[in-house]
Structure 1
Amino acid sequence: MSIKKLLASACAVAFVALATPAHADIKIGVVLALTGPNASLGIPYRKGVELMAKEIGGEKVQLIFLDDASDPSTAVKNAQKLIADDKIDILIGGSNTPASQAMGNVTSQAGVQQVALAPAAFPADKNKWMISMPQPANLWAGALVKDMQKRGVKTVAYIGFSDPWGDIAYNGLKDAAEKAGIKVVTNERYARADTSVTGQVLKIIAARPDAVMVGGSGTPGALPHIALAERGFKGPVYATPGVFNQDYLRVGGKAVENVVGVTGPIGGADQLPDTNPIKGVSKDFIKKYEDINGKGSWNSFAAFAYDGVLTLQDAIPRALKKAKPGTQEFRQAVRDEVRNVKNLVGTNGVYQFPDGSSYGVDERSVILVQVKDGQWKYLPN
């Protein structure tokens, strides 16, 4: 073969190589509290995310985990690093509302789909790049207030975190209580790292409420329950979905006995009718999770993360038909296809995410539970 023909052949091969789209991993950054006060949430969230398929639509999936040490400012730095340095296509996190909200400013500016595992939202006109897997406060607070009405509660005191989650829980309670004719008589706050809430609880006792709601999450959410028990409060006490795990029960001990909480339907999956599609998805998740982590290890936080995984596994194959990973076009396609998810059955609800809304569930996402003999038990309506 002549040199001229060899050069022509080489050029043809080079052209074909350039014309053929290169395969690229789907890079998903995950920012969670793996240490610090919120690690009791972050660690199970991680285990739920790790149930992600290793390959989606013929492309390999690469998960990049970073620990924010329960610090929202560190979460922001991690998100910035993942977007600028690792060139991620999608971000999952954070473990709590402050971190999720703070990272939301970063992901929206960069045009990266964020899947928040804690309640988080922006105004509808700014809420384009973030979805949140848990139930919105109006749903779970409304369920708790209905229970208060059944018990004849006329006044309720509130104590919660001095951060966005505390605000979400308070506002949810206030709105639902006012509609039910129940008066909220206190709005006490404490920091997640605090070791005492004696002053706040004394103010609650002085207000003489019929009931108390604690707007906490994780193990720090047990602190007010302990203080209320020490002061001999005998009325019903309520908790948010953020404490539905074993660590809260361990730390709270006898002080959280009889606490009424709220969670997704997976919390009573074994009691759902066989015709409910959530039951089958929940059983599948529990088996997958326990096969890896041991019998009885499943929890609602890992389940929310799993629902986020299911959402992405539903949206990504459609996005891959529009663009390749590693491009802004793919980021946009993922965002668009997440918003096109319809009636996706998860462990904690049936999901779809309309434009302008962070949340994707309805009333089917909420059940009541109560601590009995140191364990969460389904509480029928």
Structure 2
Amino acid sequence: MKRLRLPLPFTCSAACALLLLAPWAHAEITVGVVLSMTGAASSQGIPEKNMIALLPDKLGGEPVKYIVLDDATDPTLALKDARKLVSSDQVDVLIGSSNTPNALALASVALESRTPQVSPAPMDVPANQHPWVFVVPQSADLMIDAVLENMKKKGIKTVGYIGYSQPWGDQVQHSLATLSGKYGIQPLNDERFERTDSSVVAQVVKTMALKPDAILIGATGTPAALPHLTLVERGYKGPIYHTHGVVNDDFLRVGGARVEGALAPIGPVVVFKDLPDSDPVKKVSKDFSALYTKAYGAGPVNAFATWAYDSYLLLDKASAVALKKARPGTAEFRAALRDALENNTAGLVGTNGIYHITPTDHNGLDKRARVMVRVSHADWRLAE
């Protein structure tokens, strides 16, 4: 288990005052972060970790400490990390993880410990865990609907599917199967692969034999490049679509010129320069981009870093409300923070859209949170 502490300063006088008010409480908000900084999902976890390191030293006006652990893209380790954070470190909230299976592992700990979780990975949360889990990225349904809408505009009638043999692959396939009918598009198959596979030739050959008009790849990060590259090598000429889980620099680096033309849905932050000045997302996205670029250099906007940033924005607003009811380090504060995320963040403008979280919707994004992008000259550009 790799452990990275990002302690943030606070004044002695502030700490002493808080201790006098509530000796059993923390003198600061403690955030436990579990990310996939190594392993197959590291192209997702590293930019998230980079973003966490840049965040302000306060949440809701209160000093904050981030404790960041690496789950190595292993759900078992993610579970172990989360349990340590809530038991030993007594964190007030969990952020994580970078991929769907690991984020689901954290959700079980969120329920057990009654600690709110903010997930930078998209996932369908079990009903019993739903009260404690808030999902920042756009849902599979929202984004696959955008893919199918784009396919219909192009006259596509049939689509092949190659996705993970994991929850994210299941979610994408389910969205494809349930939404395709309204667009008059027929899914032809359901091929799967593991995130760590080194070859998907069999899946690609079977899919191409069906002669689909287009192919959708339900994967994330750099592993999603494998089926795309194999399709190109095998001579597939139709459009290749992805999910919002591929929009990062490493996918472009691994894919190179062979992923030119790849299509994917994503939040407007990735093409914020093309947004009208009147769009409230543009300013927030510009602020995010300036912060990230100053620290890590210019390049395509990294979607995974934006989900970490929006996690902070939601927690910052919710913390200001929760602090009026309880002090950090207590069950009362964790409950108040959960309640504030659910009831007091509506209308928050993030880099990916405008959040309207409610008791029945712990994501709160709508069609304004998506655009279609296309790989053009090693960059993500607004698709036609």
Q: Same fold (TM over 0.5)?
A: yes
Q: Is 1:350 equivalent to 2:350 in the alignment?
A: no
Q: Alpha-carbon deviations, 1:312-340, whole Å to 9, x = none?
A: 00000110110011100000000000012
Paired position in structure 1 for 2:11: none
Shift of the 193–321 alpha-carbon distance from structure 1 to 2, 3 Å rule, reads same
| From 197, 205, 208, the counterpart of 2:211 | 208
Shift of the 235–17 alpha-carbon distance from structure 1 to 2, 3 Å rule, reads closer
Aligned-CA RMSD value: 1.6
Paired position in structure 2 for 1:7: none
Secondary structure in 2 aligned to 1:339?
A: helix
Paired position in structure 2 for 1:8: none
Shift of the 62–229 alpha-carbon distance from structure 1 to 2, 3 Å rule, reads same
Mapped to 2, the partners of 1:379 and 1:297 lie a distance apart of 15
Q: TM-score, normalised by structure 1?
A: 0.92
Mapped to 2, the partners of 1:80 and 1:33 lie a distance apart of 16
Alpha-carbon shift at residue 91 of structure 1 (Å): 0.3
Which amino acid in 2 is paired with 1:352? H
Alignment of 1:205-354 (within 5 A): 205-296=208-299, 298-340=301-343, 341-354=345-358
Shift of the 175–273 alpha-carbon distance from structure 1 to 2, 3 Å rule, reads same
Shift of the 253–321 alpha-carbon distance from structure 1 to 2, 3 Å rule, reads same
| More displaced 10-residue stretch of structure 1: 55-64 or 245-254 | 55-64
Alpha-carbon shift at residue 236 of structure 1 (Å): 0.8
| More displaced 10-residue stretch of structure 1: 60-69 or 367-376 | 367-376
Q: Alpha-carbon deviations, 1:126-152, whole Å to 9, x = none?
A: 410001111111111111111111111
| More displaced 10-residue stretch of structure 1: 240-249 or 116-125 | 116-125
Q: Is 1:62 equivalent to 2:65 in the alignment?
A: yes
Mapped to 2, the partners of 1:211 and 1:60 lie a distance apart of 50
Shift of the 51–297 alpha-carbon distance from structure 1 to 2, 3 Å rule, reads farther
Which amino acid in 1 is paired with 2:245? G
Q: Alpha-carbon deviations, 1:291-328, whole Å to 9, x = none?
A: 22222364111111101100000000110110011100
Alignment of 1:154-169 (within 5 A): 154-169=157-172
Alpha-carbon shift at residue 56 of structure 1 (Å): 3.1
Contact 1:35-1:67 at 8 Å conserved across structures: yes
Contact 1:369-1:377 at 8 Å conserved across structures: yes
Q: Is 1:85 equivalent to 2:88 in the alignment?
A: yes
Paired position in structure 1 for 2:9: none
Q: Alpha-carbon deviations, 1:55-91, whole Å to 9, x = none?
A: 2345320100000001111100000010111100000
Alpha-carbon shift at residue 358 of structure 1 (Å): 3.0
Mapped to 2, the partners of 1:374 and 1:295 lie a distance apart of 13
Mapped to 2, the partners of 1:18 and 1:154 lie a distance apart of 65
Q: Which runs of 4+ in 1 moved over 3 A?
A: 16-19, 123-126
Secondary structure in 2 aligned to 1:336?
A: helix
Q: TM-score, normalised by structure 2?
A: 0.92
Contact 2:107-2:129 at 8 Å conserved across structures: no
Which amino acid in 2 is paired with 1:361? L
Secondary structure in 2 aligned to 1:135?
A: coil
Which amino acid in 2 is paired with 1:144? V
- Count of paired positions: 365
Mapped to 2, the partners of 1:72 and 1:154 lie a distance apart of 37
Which amino acid in 1 is paired with 2:322? A
Paired position in structure 1 for 2:102: 99
Alignment of 1:90-129 (within 5 A): 90-124=93-127, 126-129=129-132
Paired position in structure 2 for 1:377: 381
Gapped regions of structure 1 (runs ≥ 5): 1-15
Mapped to 2, the partners of 1:17 and 1:207 lie a distance apart of 66
Q: Taking every aligned residue pair, what percent have the same amino acid on both sides? A: 45
Contact 1:37-1:70 at 8 Å conserved across structures: yes
